Amino acid sequence: MQLPDRQQDVEAERLRLELRLALLQGQEQAQNTFIGFSRYVWPEAIISSHHEIMADAFDRIANGTLKRLIVNMPPRHTKSEFASYLLPAYIMGVSLRPRLFRRRTPASSLSGSDVRCVTSWTLISTRKYFLTLP
């Protein structure tokens, strides 16, 4: 009877270690690329090829090799979610001197993408974000 209990303990420990490894790998990818960051903070997102192209451009913005970008895609293709919500949070985490979209507008008068910028600050204040991009 003791042997199966020991096997269950070993299996439970193995699963805990695999979960910890997956978490650390996700955090490492989140620190290195925008697409990794997006997958880490938004795990239920379905990432397609156009997201990877956009993410590559956002990585170039974050490292300073791309100064301007126009994203021209049909509605409902994650432009706002990526550019107005996740990108500011990612740049704040990876850039030493973030050149960000700063507004001095009362929160009550915000609408559309402005509200997303405010919610980026909500994302930045989470424990998951702090553990990933301190």
Is pTM beyond 0.75? Reply is no
Mean pLDDT by 10 residues, the chain (134 residues): 75 90 84 91 90 94 88 88 87 67 49 52 74 71
Predicted local confidence at residue 115, as pLDDT = 46
The residues near 54 (Cβ < 8 Å, ≥ 6 apart) are 71, 78, 79, 82, 83
Predicted local confidence at residue 55, as pLDDT = 95
Distances from the Cα of 12 to the Cα of 16, 17, 19, 66, angstroms: 6, 9, 11, 47
Predicted local confidence at residue 98, as pLDDT = 56
b/e sequence 29-64, b meaning 16+ C-beta within 10 Å: bbbebbbbbbbbbeeeeeeeeebeebbebbbebbee
